[in-house]
């Protein structure tokens, strides 16, 4: 029957939004269907989340995808509008949001959504916004497209020295149970000292006399307002947290914490933007700080069945999606920031809802606060297994409203019956701040993870009491949490010079310092379990954090001359430093103690030292140690502070010339101020055919600085040692030719993720490869995860091994290149009916399909560069690219003869749900456009 195969062409289409929502996943995130109206919304704004594998960015007012093809189909849908405008979710810098993704993935080991992929689309008023959103969400490159919601009521119930009336401060053993804040205040850090709490909502009175932290606490740089024209709700919330301990009024649970507020409603037209507000909070906070989400979401419009705000834009009967708020919460948690979230006043059993997953937030329910209902769920509180903690949901005495005291005006308003998950959430957030403050002050300067603190508070909380069914979790007990913290932990910073000869490991009495969180060099310090010896003194940097950043050599080290160095100190303290000038692998010889008990001020310190005339030219090592009391040697315990080891190079004379790199400085180390890569020019040892000297690095966006420098201008192109053969494509091998003058060692780095660093795993493609003189063809594999677009590579060649992408080498050459990583080319499946009568070739507008793994007829599919016309319709099976036995024409089997006037039967095998279209040229006239020749039109198939 194969001879009649050319009479059939099957068009297999997938409706991503409707026909198979389970297959319509975007990077592992399951889509929900969009119907309208799902909730009250803005009429001109749609929030759009592009696929997580994409890299959609705003450029000159237009969005482009730097990574995939996530914008496919967008222009077609929006082309029907007279105009449209795209806006980023936040005006925070793109690299900052990229860094959150990187940091979060390093902390958690989990794949994180990049918040740069969230946008807001403005459209003309009068557009059918729900239909437009549904059309956008049906596109394969868009994960979610939802109208921006109207702001919803805050999770408070109607309104129904004061410290003695704040029962929630009391012991957990009381009835009703408090959080034991009074005990926490007796402990160092127990008032929340060192912790910042950021309240996200609206409705604050920044002039309340008992809230002296409130003025200046707003971090949203946009014009904001209260959509309900009120200033009480937020005032009551922050009163629970940080009202002053001043002997009158109320006293906040964590009054020693720092307050921030962030409005979630923009007056500029964008409207309610909870994801954007969370992004501002992340940018302003550090690991161990707290975001309080005083918002809620109405699951079914008009019913007041409020649930946690992380259900943002998801509505009945849909499941929860990886929406903008959920993505922002996950990013905060992954960066070590706690999130406390009001559970909502909807009396909803959230166990009956389909959650996307666990965002990591502490979700809070409202518990009873009387002797008769202590720790029971209040009937209005939503509940379910995902709820973690409860707080007082009634009878909370706090600032604002004036229903208890109002005689002196709004700035002295107090209320005795603040309630709802609104009152419960700040109680939990305040307890968390007190526990976190104690932990920071007494256990470790490295804050615990949000998941640890969430579990710890719940484990040692006061259990929920039976009453109205439904889990809302235990109430906080700060005293129990504090008493059950692990013993204080100590962390140490160690050196990374080669061990034996130098003392680096503990077994060799290596140098180490206690990390106290305040005393270090440069911008940061990190902990190690032991010394990290490395041939290039970069072992401390290769553990995920480059903390050897406090010392910069600002001159060459020339025997008999004075050298200069810049040392940055976090606080005032004492510096001791050594250089092994004679290369005898010790720092104890005469003249090698270059700084002995030198007092530094906080900030940058410019210092000089003498290089002995007998110093031996070549590579050697230096050790710098900083603490607050001095008197230390190059080994052993140095108390609170930091040790930084460096590989340095002693020049032969002041007339030495060096070859430097020319990658952009800033992200990459190119200039001498950043210990840029440089090679002492030794005649006859080079890459390519030429080498020229520079006085310093020559950074250039296209890596042409070395070729265009003023000292040796064009045509002196010495970047001629590496030639790329063909395109660089993720997941595919690439060929390069490297030409060198003598036998030596090649090292090469590629910034595959384009984050401005060559430190990431897998980015050193060549490590001490021994290559002979002449042309060397080499093969490298471009990782499948490589970012497309322009990035940078550095190659270093020398007769010595162990070079890093920084520092000095005694011979050879460094060459930097701007390279382009091309996107994976799309592959297509074409037909193979005879072209001429039938449209098969591209020139005839033949039928073709983009190959998407898993979407096919039959068991296989293969790609062709064009149609494969064949008299027997066998061209697709016999093509040269995928020759037999690769028969991918295996999805349709005729189970009966085709007889005029009779029904025919056939079996069709589909891999997934989808739509089938098919044609037969019954009158044999070379066309499928005659009446009744389309035998199937959008027929739904199932696997």
The CATH number for 81's domain is 3.30.70
Distance CA(465)–CA(377), nearest Å, equals: 8
Q: What is the pLDDT of residues 626-662, one digit of tens each?
A: 999 999 999 999 999 999 999 888 877 656 788 999 9
Q: Are residues 207 and 288 in the same domain?
A: yes
Of the given ranges (217-231, 756-770, 853-867, 926-940), which has the lowest mean pLDDT? 853-867
Q: Are residues 495 and 560 in the same domain?
A: yes
Residue 540 pLDDT level (bands cut at 50, 70, 90): low
* Residue 156 counted as domain residue: no
Report the 10 Å Cβ neighbour count for 588.
Answer: 12
Residue 712 reports pLDDT greater than 50: no
* Average predicted confidence (pLDDT) for the chain: 89
Q: What is the pLDDT of residues 432-470, one digit of tens each?
A: 999 999 999 999 888 899 999 999 999 999 999 988 889
In the chain, the percentage of residues whose pLDDT exceeds 70 is 92
Q: Are residues 447 and 518 in the same domain?
A: no
DSSP assignment letter at 146? E
Residue 324 reports pLDDT greater than 90: yes
Report the 10 Å Cβ neighbour count for 126.
Answer: 8
**SS3 at position 37:** coil
CATH number at residue 771: 2.60.40.2950
Residue 356 reports pLDDT greater than 70: yes
Residue 374: its pLDDT value, please?
96
DSSP assignment letter at 66? S
* Residue 36 counted as domain residue: no
Classify residue 582 as left (phi > 0), alpha (psi -120 to 50) or beta: alpha
Q: Are residues 325 and 453 in the same domain?
A: yes
- The whole-number average pLDDT for the span 229-243 is 97
Residue 321 pLDDT level (bands cut at 50, 70, 90): very high
Residue 710 reports pLDDT greater than 60: no
Residue 541: its pLDDT value, please?
59
Residue 64 reports pLDDT greater than 80: yes
Give the DSSP per-residue string, 363-427: EEEEE--STTTTTPBPTTS-B-TT--EEEE-S-EEEESS-SSB-TT-GGG-EEEEE-HHHHHHHH
Rounded to 10 degrees, what is the CA torsion of 761, 765, 770, 775? Answer: -170
Q: Which of 650, 667, 697 is the last residue of a domain?
A: 650
Q: Which of 771, 801, 825 is the last residue of a domain?
A: 825
Residue 460: its pLDDT value, please?
97
Residue 798: its pLDDT value, please?
92
- Give the residue carrying structure tokens 């403050």: 437
Contact 762, 542 (CB under 8 A): no
Token code pair at residue 927: 């066309």
* Residue 196 counted as domain residue: yes
Residue 706: its pLDDT value, please?
65
Report the 10 Å Cβ neighbour count for 452.
Answer: 11
Residue 617: its pLDDT value, please?
86
Q: Are residues 568 and 617 in the same domain?
A: yes
Q: What is the pLDDT of residues 115-148, one digit of tens each?
A: 999 999 999 999 999 999 999 999 999 999 999 9
836-872 exposure pattern, b = at least 16 Cβ within 10 A, e = fewer: ebbbbbeeeebbbbeeeeebbbbeebbbbeebbbbee
The total of structural domains in the chain comes to: 5
Q: What is the pLDDT of residues 79-114, one digit of tens each?
A: 999 999 999 999 999 989 988 998 888 788 888 999
Residue 718 pLDDT level (bands cut at 50, 70, 90): low
Distance CA(916)–CA(918), nearest Å, equals: 7
Of the given ranges (342-356, 364-378, 699-713, 726-740), which has the lowest mean pLDDT? 699-713
Q: Are residues 171 and 230 in the same domain?
A: yes
Residue 1 pLDDT level (bands cut at 50, 70, 90): very low
Q: Are residues 94 and 207 in the same domain?
A: no
Residue 27 reports pLDDT greater than 50: no
Q: What is the pLDDT of residues 292-308, one digit of tens each?
A: 999 999 999 999 999 99
Residue 877: its pLDDT value, please?
66
Residue 531: its pLDDT value, please?
94
In the chain, the percentage of residues whose pLDDT exceeds 90 is 66
Report the 10 Å Cβ neighbour count for 322.
Answer: 24
Residue 941 pLDDT level (bands cut at 50, 70, 90): confident
* Closest by CA position to 205, among listed 217, 195, 220: 217
Residue 861: its pLDDT value, please?
87
Residue 160: its pLDDT value, please?
47
Q: What is the pLDDT of residues 884-928, one digit of tens each?
A: 555 578 889 888 888 888 888 999 999 888 889 999 999 999 999
Q: Are residues 495 and 619 in the same domain?
A: yes
More confident residue, 91 or 3: 91
Residue 24 reports pLDDT greater than 70: no
- Residue 672 has, within 13 A of its CA and on its CB side, a CA count of 16
* Residue 25 counted as domain residue: no
DSSP assignment letter at 764? E
The DSSP H or E segment spanning 790 is: strand 789-798
Q: Which of 793, 825, 857 is the last residue of a domain?
A: 825
C-alpha distances out from residue 164 to 160, 250, 396, 403, Å: 20, 9, 12, 18
Q: Are residues 353 and 315 in the same domain?
A: yes
Strand partners, 919: 9, 934
- What's the domain range around 911? 2-14+829-941
CA 516 to chain centre: 28
Q: What is the pLDDT of residues 380-432, one digit of tens each?
A: 999 999 999 999 999 999 999 999 999 999 999 999 999 999 999 999 999 99
Residue 871: its pLDDT value, please?
86
- The whole-number average pLDDT for the span 689-713 is 77
Residue 672 reports pLDDT greater than 90: no
Report the 10 Å Cβ neighbour count for 625.
Answer: 27
Q: How far apart are the first and last CA of the chain?
A: 24
More confident residue, 654 or 259: 259
C-alpha distances out from residue 218 to 263, 294, 309, Å: 7, 15, 21
Q: Are residues 412 and 513 in the same domain?
A: no
Residue 686: its pLDDT value, please?
93
Strand partners, 341: 293, 363
Residue 591: its pLDDT value, please?
93
Residue 21: its pLDDT value, please?
25
* Residue 158 counted as domain residue: no
* Residue 22 counted as domain residue: no
Q: Are residues 669 and 645 in the same domain?
A: no
* Residue 346 counted as domain residue: yes
Q: Are residues 796 and 848 in the same domain?
A: no
Residue 812 pLDDT level (bands cut at 50, 70, 90): very high
The DSSP H or E segment spanning 274 is: helix 274-284
More confident residue, 323 or 538: 323
- Give the residue carrying structure tokens 């979060």: 104
Distance CA(258)–CA(599), nearest Å, equals: 33
Contact 307, 297 (CB under 8 A): yes
CATH number at residue 438: 3.40.50.200
Report the 10 Å Cβ neighbour count for 428.
Answer: 31
* Residue 204 counted as domain residue: yes
Q: Name the range with the highest mean pLDDT among 752-756, 782-786, 872-876.
A: 752-756
- The whole-number average pLDDT for the span 236-241 is 98
Q: What is the pLDDT of residues 465-500, one digit of tens each?
A: 988 889 999 999 999 999 999 988 788 999 999 998
């Amino acid at each position: 029957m194969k001879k009649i195969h050319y009479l059939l062409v099957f068009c297999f289409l997938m409706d991503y939004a409707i026909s198979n929502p389970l297959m319509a996943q975007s990077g592992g995130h399951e889509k929900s269907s969009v119907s309208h109206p799902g909730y009250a919304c803005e009429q001109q704004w749609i929030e759009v989340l592009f696929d997580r594998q994409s890299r959609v960015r705003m450029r000159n007012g237009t969005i482009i995808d730097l990574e995939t093809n996530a914008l496919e189909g967008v222009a077609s849908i929006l082309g029907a509008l007279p105009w449209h405008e795209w806006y980023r979710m936040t005006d925070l810098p793109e690299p900052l949001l990229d860094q959150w993704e990187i940091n979060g993935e390093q902390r958690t080991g989990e794949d994180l959504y990049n918040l740069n992929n969230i946008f807001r689309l403005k459209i003309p008023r009068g557009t059918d916004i729900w239909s437009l959103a549904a059309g956008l969400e049906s596109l394969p490159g868009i994960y979610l497209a939802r109208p921006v919601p109207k702001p919803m009521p805050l999770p408070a119930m109607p309104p129904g020295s004061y410290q003695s009336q704040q029962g929630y401060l009391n012991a957990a053993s009381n009835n009703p149970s408090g959080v034991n804040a009074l005990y926490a205040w007796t402990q160092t850090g127990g008032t929340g000292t060192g912790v910042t709490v950021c309240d996200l909502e609206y409705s604050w009175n920044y002039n309340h006399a008992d809230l002296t932290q409130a003025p200046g606490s707003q971090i949203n740089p946009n014009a904001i307002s209260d959509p309900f024209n009120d200033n009480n709700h937020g005032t009551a919330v922050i009163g629970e947290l940080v009202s002053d301990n001043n002997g009158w009024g109320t006293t906040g649970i964590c009054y020693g914490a720092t307050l921030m507020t962030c409005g979630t409603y923009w007056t500029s037209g964008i409207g309610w933007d909870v994801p954007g507000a969370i992004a501002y909070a992340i940018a302003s906070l550090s690991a161990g700080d707290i975001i309080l989400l005083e918002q809620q979401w109405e699951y079914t419009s008009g019913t007041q069945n409020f649930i946690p705000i992380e259900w943002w834009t998801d509505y009945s009967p849909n499941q929860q999606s990886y929406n903008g708020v959920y993505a922002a919460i996950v990013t905060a948690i992954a960066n070590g920031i706690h999130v406390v979230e009001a559970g909502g006043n909807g009396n909803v059993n959230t166990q009956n809802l389909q959650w996307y997953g666990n965002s990591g937030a502490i979700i809070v329910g409202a518990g009873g606060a009387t002797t008769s209902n202590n720790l029971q769920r209040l009937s209005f509180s939503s509940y379910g297994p995902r709820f973690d903690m409860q707080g007082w949901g009634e009878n909370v005495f706090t600032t604002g409203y004036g229903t208890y005291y109002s005689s002196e005006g709004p700035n002295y308003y107090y209320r005795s019956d603040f309630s709802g998950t609104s009152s419960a959430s700040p109680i939990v957030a305040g307890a968390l701040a007190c526990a976190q403050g104690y932990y920071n002050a007494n256990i470790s300067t490295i804050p615990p993870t949000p998941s640890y603190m969430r579990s710890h508070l719940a484990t040692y909380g006061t259990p929920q009491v039976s009453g109205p069914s439904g889990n809302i979790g235990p109430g906080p007990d700060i005293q129990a949490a504090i008493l059950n913290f692990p013993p204080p932990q100590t962390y140490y910073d160690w050196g990374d010079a080669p061990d034996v000869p130098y003392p680096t490991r503990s077994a060799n009495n290596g140098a180490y310092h206690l990390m106290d969180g305040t005393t270090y060099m440069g911008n940061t310090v990190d902990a190690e379990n032991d010394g990290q010896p490395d041939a290039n003194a970069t072992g401390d940097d290769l553990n995920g954090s480059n903390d050897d950043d406090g010392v910069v050599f600002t001159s060459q080290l020339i025997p008999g001359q004075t050298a200069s160095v810049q040392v940055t100190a976090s606080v005032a303290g004492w510096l001791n430093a050594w250089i092994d000038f004679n290369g005898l692998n010790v720092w104890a010889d005469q003249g090698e103690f270059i700084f002995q008990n030198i007092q530094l001020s906080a900030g940058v310190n410019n210092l000089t030292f003498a290089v002995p005339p007998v110093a031996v030219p070549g590579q050697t090592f230096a050790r710098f140690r900083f603490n607050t009391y001095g008197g230390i040697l190059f080994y052993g315990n140095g108390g609170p502070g930091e040790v930084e080891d460096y590989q340095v190079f002693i020049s032969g004379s002041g007339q030495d010339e060096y070859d430097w790199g020319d990658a952009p400085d800033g992200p990459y180390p190119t200039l001498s101020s950043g210990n840029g890569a440089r090679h002492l020019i030794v005649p006859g040892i080079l890459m390519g055919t030429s080498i020229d000297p520079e006085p310093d690095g020559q950074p250039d966006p296209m890596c042409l600085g070395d070729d265009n420098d003023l000292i040796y201008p064009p045509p002196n192109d010495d970047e001629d040692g590496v030639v790329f053969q063909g395109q660089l494509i993720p997941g595919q091998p690439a060929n390069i030719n490297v030409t060198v003058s003598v036998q030596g060692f090649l090292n090469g780095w590629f910034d595959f993720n384009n984050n401005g660093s060559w430190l990431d795993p897998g980015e050193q493609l060549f490590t001490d490869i021994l290559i002979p003189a002449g042309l060397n063809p080499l093969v490298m594999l471009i990782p499948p995860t490589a970012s497309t677009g322009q990035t940078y590579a550095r190659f270093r060649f020398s007769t010595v091994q162990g070079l890093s992408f920084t520092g000095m080498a005694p011979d050879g050459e460094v060459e930097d290149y701007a390279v382009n990583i091309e996107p994976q080319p799309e592959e297509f499946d074409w037909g193979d009916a005879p072209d001429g009568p039938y449209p098969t070739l591209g020139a005839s507008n033949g039928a073709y399909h983009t190959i998407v793994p898993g979407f096919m007829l039959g068991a296989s599919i293969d790609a062709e560069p064009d149609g494969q016309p064949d008299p027997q319709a066998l061209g697709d099976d016999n093509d040269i690219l995928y020759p037999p036995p690769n028969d991918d024409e295996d999805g349709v089997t005729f189970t009966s003869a085709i007889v005029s006037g009779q029904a025919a039967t056939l079996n069709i095998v589909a891999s997934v749900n989808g739509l089938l279209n098919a044609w037969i040229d019954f009158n044999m006239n070379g066309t499928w456009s005659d009446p009744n020749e389309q035998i199937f039109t959008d027929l739904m198939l199932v696997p």
